[in-house]
Copies of this chain bind each other. A is one copy, B any other.
Amino acid sequence: MSNQTPVPAGFRGVAGNIGIKDPHDDFFVVVSEVPAHTSAVFTQSRFAGPSVVQSRRAAADGDVRGVVTIARNANVATGPEGAAHAREVQELAATAAGIPADEMIVASTGVIGRPYPMDKVRTAFRGLTAPLPPADLDRSAAAMMTTDTAPKTASARVGGATVTGIAKGVGMIEPNMATMLAWFFTDAELDKETLDAVFRRVVERTFNALSIDSDTSTSDSAAILANGLAGPVDTGEFEEALYGVALQLVRMIASDGEGAGKLIEVRMTGARDDAQAKRVAKTVVNSPLVKTAVHGADPNWGRVAMAVGKCSDETDIHPENVRIVFGDVETYPEPSDEKVLQRAAEYMAGSEVVIGVDLGIADGAFTVYGCDLTEGYIRINADYTT
């Protein structure tokens, strides 16, 4: 790959093929050579998979050395056997990487309800020897793809340090605590508490602001590993850099949403508070009628009004105070003539559509990210086989 994604100092790893479904890479391991702090967030699904359960335990003390991810099989709803398999994958990967099992985060993505082909898994991991070679994060990002059409990586410099993120996800995406899978690696030095606070703030404004189809995965996981090899950094600058990297990944995921043709950004302003802005913005970005209107490049602001209106618990929303714009074209409440609608339609023909809604209540604001709803989403999901 010509644009190789920068790898922070001290991260080693490997990607390869277990043979779960086809000959493409379907797993990777990334480990830090030295101890690292972590912050991690996981799905809130009641059907959370055993990999999530194992990872929650591994990350609980704020110290983790590595991540192993297997694609093409989610190992979810697989009963006690699936739980044993998740523990074994964690151990196999940790052994291969030369670290303790309880310092390895484990993640799985793919079809629900099928046991792992453990013979193949064992063969693949036992073929690895520590120390692993320097990490290749482009290949790692590619190895965790399912119906993704492209690997998703982003990187930034902060002081003398690097922060790099890789992510995957295209459908079953309305993260509740995290997205499908997103891993961040940095050689910046931060104490555990600061790292955790920064990471959670960033996740709230990025992955938790994303919805492809309002369906929440059983496997959502996001974590950052910080090994400190580049020394201390300014916390504010680090948060800004991490936010930038995470936002890039979120925009890639939205643009690559199953069947998506357009990225939708809903900027909600004038709300009672940020939480209200987020609730209403999510309702707009998830509305099938708004999503299909964007697909058709139709400036159907009435559907945006409908979506705002269906937040019936938000009794301080009054139609006469609301303002709706597509890009910089106001469509409501100013009566929009044909010329205005024509300008809005031209704007909506582009690949990114910003819908601005001001509720006219106070100063709360929140921006969320999603994509249009197309025939492609139907095709992918009506044909995707159990």
Chain A residues within CB distance 8 Å of chain B: 44-48, 74, 76-77, 79, 111-113, 171-172, 174, 176, 213-218, 286-289, 292-293, 295-296, 298-303, 305-312, 314-315, 317-320, 332-333, 335-336, 341, 373-375, 377-379, 381-386
Enumerate chain B residues within 8 angstroms of A46, measured Cβ to Cβ.
308-312, 314-315, 317-319
- A310 and B335 CA atoms in complex are apart in Å by 40
Enumerate chain B residues within 8 angstroms of A378, measured Cβ to Cβ.
292, 295, 373-375, 377-378
Enumerate chain B residues within 8 angstroms of A302, measured Cβ to Cβ.
74, 76-77, 111-113, 386
CB of A98 to closest CB in B, whole Å: 34
- A292 and B112 CA atoms in complex are apart in Å by 16
Check A292 against B333 for contact (C-beta < 8 Å).
no
CB of A306 to closest CB in B, whole Å: 6
- A214 and B218 CA atoms in complex are apart in Å by 22
Check B386 against A310 for contact (C-beta < 8 Å).
no
CB of A311 to closest CB in B, whole Å: 6
Enumerate chain B residues within 8 angstroms of A292, measured Cβ to Cβ.
377-378, 381-382
CB of A49 to closest CB in B, whole Å: 10
Check B213 against A288 for contact (C-beta < 8 Å).
yes
8 tightest Cβ-Cβ pairs between the two chains A and B: A112-B302, A47-B309, A296-B382, A292-B381, A44-B312, A45-B309, A216-B310, A46-B317
Task: Evaluate whether A312 and B176 lie within 8 angstroms (CB atoms) in the complex, with A305-B47, A333-B79 already known.
Answer: yes
Check B47 against A215 for contact (C-beta < 8 Å).
no
CB of A341 to closest CB in B, whole Å: 6
CB of A45 to closest CB in B, whole Å: 4
Check B218 against A305 for contact (C-beta < 8 Å).
yes
Enumerate chain B residues within 8 angstroms of A335, measured Cβ to Cβ.
79
- A308 and B218 CA atoms in complex are apart in Å by 10
Q: Can you sample 10 A-B contacts with CB below 8 Å?
A: A45-B309, A46-B311, A74-B302, A79-B333, A292-B382, A295-B382, A296-B381, A298-B382, A300-B384, A374-B378
Check A47 against B386 for contact (C-beta < 8 Å).
no
Enumerate chain B residues within 8 angstroms of A386, measured Cβ to Cβ.
298-302, 341
Check A375 against B381 for contact (C-beta < 8 Å).
no
CB of A189 to closest CB in B, whole Å: 35
- A377 and B76 CA atoms in complex are apart in Å by 31
Enumerate chain B residues within 8 angstroms of A300, measured Cβ to Cβ.
112, 384-386
CB of A228 to closest CB in B, whole Å: 34
Check B48 against A298 for contact (C-beta < 8 Å).
no
Interface centre among A300, A301, A311 (most CB of B within 10 A): A300
Beyond the given pairs A46-B309, A48-B309, A113-B302, 9 more chain A to chain B contacts, judged by CB atoms under 8 angstroms and listed by A's residue number, are A45-B309, A45-B312, A113-B336, A171-B289, A215-B288, A288-B377, A298-B385, A300-B385, A375-B379
- A376 and B113 CA atoms in complex are apart in Å by 30
Enumerate chain B residues within 8 angstroms of A303, measured Cβ to Cβ.
112, 172, 215
Enumerate chain B residues within 8 angstroms of A293, measured Cβ to Cβ.
381-382
